[in-house]
């Protein structure tokens, strides 16, 4: 049997770049490995106002971010190939460095003496890197043991840690460590970016749920040559939680009243999450019935639903408010820009 990463949920919530890249997100529509060039806008925005010491420090933090890119690229190469045996894929992952992407990053951050302005940011980002290193070490052990269910679950945890930390960072620090549009979209917007009370409210609501969405994407959206039994185990552990997550977001969305000019887009977002609840509910039911082929087919409906909603939003102010969820990457939704 020839093994490759199965295609399940390649587009929805594709802002979560780090863990998918580290653990093998390589589908045509999946989040790509970040390139080695940081956004010039991010650098200009943040470093123009920084002192020389601040700039030197931020440059080192960026070096820490870039340190793991070669390893991420190795994973991407692996998952672009087909392997005749499951064991060959596992061996390739171990050889490529599962468990190692966060070692140098953490060491660089630990050696830095941050300026007062970025002391809190540094503590947040260092703590996140240490936790990612711990979890990625567990992931390596899971691969060594052939426990791909555990590996999938740990992938989701890596996602959640990354997004939770980015949301907590100051805009300047966050923009400086963003290596892709998806990561930059997570940064807390400047006060001038979202002008209306509704836009702020909808953005805040997404930020409240986005770490949990990231974990869900890492768990359910990530597949690594799972047997039917393993796939059923992952669905049993995660699908119902995803359904409840979508339901909770949809319920809170209904408590926010949009102005007339944004009402149609607001309704479209609500329709999408209503559809997401339906799909997640059916995925869980089919999984419980051991209809894994049906569950797989149902889950794949999330991607076109996501892209349809993304394409339907009309007002730029609304799009700015929900970009954290929908901006995607260059290949998201057929490469259509948001």
| Position 218 pLDDT exceeds 80 | no
For the chain, the structural domain boundaries read 18-329
The pLDDT of residue 220? 58
**Which band of pLDDT confidence, cut at 50, 70 and 90, is reported for residue 88?**
confident
Percent of all residues in the chain with a pLDDT value above 70, rounded to a whole number: 80
Instruction: Give, in order, the Cα–Cα distances in Å from 245 to each of 42, 134, 207, 239, 279.
Output: 32, 26, 13, 10, 13
Of the candidate ranges 36-45, 211-220, 234-243, the one whose mean pLDDT is the lowest: 36-45
Residues pairing with 3 in the sheet: 83
| Position 34 pLDDT exceeds 60 | no
**Which band of pLDDT confidence, cut at 50, 70 and 90, is reported for residue 246?**
very high
Instruction: Give, in order, the Cα–Cα distances in Å from 141 to each of 22, 127, 145, 204.
Output: 15, 21, 6, 37
Mean per-residue pLDDT for 221-246? 75
**Which band of pLDDT confidence, cut at 50, 70 and 90, is reported for residue 242?**
confident
Task: Decide: pTM greater than 0.85.
Answer: no
Residues whose CB is less than 8 angstroms from the CB of residue 82 and which lie 6 or more positions away in sequence, other chains included: 2, 3, 4
Mean per-residue pLDDT for 101-125? 96
| Position 212 pLDDT exceeds 70 | yes
**Which band of pLDDT confidence, cut at 50, 70 and 90, is reported for residue 46?**
very low
Rounded Cα–Cα distance for residues 210 and 208 (Å): 6
Most confident of 76-85, 120-129, 144-153, 239-248: 120-129
Rounded Cα–Cα distance for residues 53 and 51 (Å): 5
């Amino acid at each position: 049997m020839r093994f490759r990463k199965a295609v399940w949920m390649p587009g929805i919530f594709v802002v979560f770049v780090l863990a998918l890249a580290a653990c093998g997100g390589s589908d045509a529509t999946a989040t790509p490995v970040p390139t080695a060039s940081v956004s010039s806008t991010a650098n200009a925005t943040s470093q123009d106002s920084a002192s020389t010491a601040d700039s030197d420090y931020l440059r080192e933090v960026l070096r820490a971010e870039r340190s793991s890119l070669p390893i991420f690229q190795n994973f991407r190469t692996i998952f672009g190939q087909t392997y005749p045996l499951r064991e060959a894929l596992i061996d390739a992952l171990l050889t490529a460095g599962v468990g190692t992407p966060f070692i140098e990053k953490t060491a660089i951050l630990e050696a830095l003496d941050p300026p007062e302005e970025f002391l809190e940011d540094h503590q947040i980002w260092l703590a996140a890197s240490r936790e990612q290193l711990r979890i990625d070490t567990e992931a390596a052990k899971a691969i060594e043991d052939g426990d791909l269910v555990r590996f999938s679950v740990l992938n989701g945890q890596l996602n959640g840690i990354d997004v939770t930390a980015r949301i907590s960072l100051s805009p300047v620090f966050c923009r400086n460590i963003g290596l892709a549009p998806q990561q930059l979209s997570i940064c807390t917007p400047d006060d001038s970016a979202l002008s209306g009370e509704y836009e702020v409210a909808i953005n805040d609501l997404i930020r409240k749920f986005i770490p949990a969405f990231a974990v869900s994407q890492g768990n359910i959206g990530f597949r690594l040559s799972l047997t039917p039994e393993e796939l059923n185990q992952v669905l049993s552990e995660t699908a119902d939680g995803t359904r409840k997550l979508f339901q909770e977001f949809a319920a809170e969305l209904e408590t926010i009243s949009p102005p007339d000019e944004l009402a149609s887009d607001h309704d479209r977002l609500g329709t999408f999450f209503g559809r997401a609840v339906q799909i997640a509910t059916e995925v869980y039911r089919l999984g419980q019935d051991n209809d894994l082929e049906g569950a797989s087919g149902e889950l794949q409906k999330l991607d076109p639903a996501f892209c349809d909603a993304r394409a339907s939003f009309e007002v730029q102010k609304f799009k700015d408010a929900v970009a954290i969820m929908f901006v995607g990457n260059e290949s998201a939704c057929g490469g259509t820009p948001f």
